[in-house]
Amino acid sequence: MKTILITGGAGFIGSHVVRLFVNKYPDTQIVNLDKLTYAGNLENLKDVEQKSNYNFVKGDIVDSNFINDLFKKYQFDSVIHLAAESHVDRSISNPLEFIQTNVVGTFNLLNSAKNYWSDNFNGKLFYHVSTDEVYGSLGAEGFFLETTPYDPQSPYSSSKASSDHFVRAYGNTYGLPFVISNCSNNYGENQFPEKLIPLFINNIRNNKSLPVYGDGLFTRDWLYVVDHAKAIDTVFKNGKIGDTYNIGGFNEWTNIDLIKLLCGIMDEKLGREQGSSEQLITFVKDRPGHDKRYAIDATKIKTELGWEPSLQFAEGLEKTIDWYLNNKDWLDNVTSGEYQNYYQNQYQ
């Protein structure tokens, strides 16, 4: 029986990847390793926790002895590495945490994988899940290709770029079999409400102001999280060792247009007069070093591996809003306690 280590499986994207793999590969043991930071939540995986091929381990990828022991215990065949500090604003106020988890943590996993697999790399795979932010910021034209030079601009994207470089260095130097994918902005169920879409859904529901950074004319390419999980499965199975795949939604929006669309759907769902949520929009001080535009060219994964997004944005956004409105307890739980301090520091 094969055993796959998935790191960060209690987080937003990780929980969708764990669910997909546990259900799709019943003869494979899935080990979900997660530190359960503020962003990790085992409630995200209630529906799979009883499955016989699912295992949860609480632990920190920064602890190298712990990671070594885990490889010894489970003898993983593959790693799908998602654990990370993932929020750009937090990386601006606390960059060291990002270096620890995203750089040192990735290094520890690479080192253990190399040591435990070095007798025979055959059939082994280290899959590193990364972001389009490593490519920097685009002007009005153009797209990120797999060959676009790295130009990270925030502490978050710099830490992810650094981890990508270490993954390639381990492939080049030690022959570690790896793949990397770089994805655009995800949205969907179970995303922590510090990121734009769930934050604004929660604020609209509570009649709180919607803090739009700068002029709101920043552009992101949005992909439904389940489509990202399926892309990860595709790359895991069929990606070429040592290669990189960009993943995106072919779906660019300026923040302000997206927010207006979201406000309209929320008014409808909450039975409020059209236009009332838009009145909550408040332009606030810009994020320092705010990247203007991200846009992924996902042609390679489409033509080489046959993956493409399955959901249109309007449908995905409506599904997402329905989930949050039907899971108010989840939202209320994650926004109690420490979240209030974070919100106060970030927005007041």
Q: Which residues bind ligand NAD (CB under 6 A)?
A: 7-8, 10-14, 34-37, 39-40, 60-62, 82-86, 101, 105, 129, 131, 160, 183, 185-186, 192
Contact window for ligand DAU (CB under 6 A) among 14-22, 85-93, 168-176, 335-343 = 85-93
CA distances from 1 to 23, 28, 233, 237 (A): 15, 6, 18, 16
Residue 86 binds to ligand DAU (criterion: CB under 6 A): yes
Residues in the chain: 348
- Residue 212: strand, helix, or coil: strand
Of positions 294, 307, 313, 324, contacts ligand DAU by CB under 6 A: 294
- The binding track of 95-114 with respect to ligand DAU, each residue x by CB under 6 A or -, is --------------------
Query: Can you spell out the DSSP letters for 43-76?
Result: GGGTTTTT-TTEEEEE--TT-HHHHHHHHHHH--
To ligand NAD, the closest distance from the beta carbon of 50 in angstroms equals 20
| Residue 12 partner contact from ligand NAD, ligand DAU, none using kind-dependent CB cut-offs of 5 to 8 Å | ligand NAD
Residue 167 binds to ligand DAU (criterion: CB under 6 A): no
Nearer to ligand DAU, 13 or 31 (CB): 13
Whose CA is closest to 126, among 158, 171, 85? Answer: 171
Of positions 127, 218, 313, 324, contacts ligand DAU by CB under 6 A: 218
Q: Which one from 132, 221, 227, 291 is the annotated catalytic residue?
A: 132
CB-based closest residue to ligand NAD: 11
Please state, as a whole number, how many other Cβ atoms lie within 10 Å of the Cβ of residue 72.
Answer: 11
Nearer to ligand NAD, 7 or 277 (CB): 7
State the DSSP code for 100. Answer: I
Residue 220 binds to ligand DAU (criterion: CB under 6 A): yes
To ligand DAU, the closest distance from the beta carbon of 112 in angstroms equals 24
Please indicate whether residue 54 is annotated as part of the active site. no
Question: Which residues are paired to 129 by β-bridges?
Answer: 181
Instruction: Write b or e for each residue in 164-201: b if 16 or more Cβ atoms lie within 10 A of its Cβ, otherwise e.
Output: bebbeebbeeeebbbbbbbbbbbbbbbbbbbbbbbbbb
Query: Rounded distance, CA 16 to CA 229, Å?
Result: 6
Q: Which one from 133, 194, 227, 252 is the annotated catalytic residue?
A: 133
Nearer to ligand DAU, 31 or 298 (CB): 298
| Residue 227 partner contact from ligand NAD, ligand DAU, none using kind-dependent CB cut-offs of 5 to 8 Å | none
- The binding track of 120-159 with respect to ligand DAU, each residue x by CB under 6 A or -, is -----------xxx--------------------------
Give me the sheet containing 185-187, strands edge to edge.
185-187, 219-224, 252-254
Residue 211 binds to ligand DAU (criterion: CB under 6 A): yes
Query: Rounded distance, CA 216 to CA 321, Å?
Result: 21
| Residue 36 partner contact from ligand DAU, ligand NAD, none using kind-dependent CB cut-offs of 5 to 8 Å | ligand NAD
Q: Which one from 135, 156, 170, 187 is the annotated catalytic residue?
A: 156
Query: Rounded distance, CA 37 to CA 60, Å?
Result: 10
Query: Rounded distance, CA 180 to CA 168, Å?
Result: 9
How is residue 145 written in tokens?
Answer: 């290709």
Active site residue ranges = 132-133, 156
The residue ranges that bind ligand DAU (CB under 6 A) are: 86-88, 131-133, 184-185, 195-196, 199, 211-213, 218, 220, 255, 287, 294
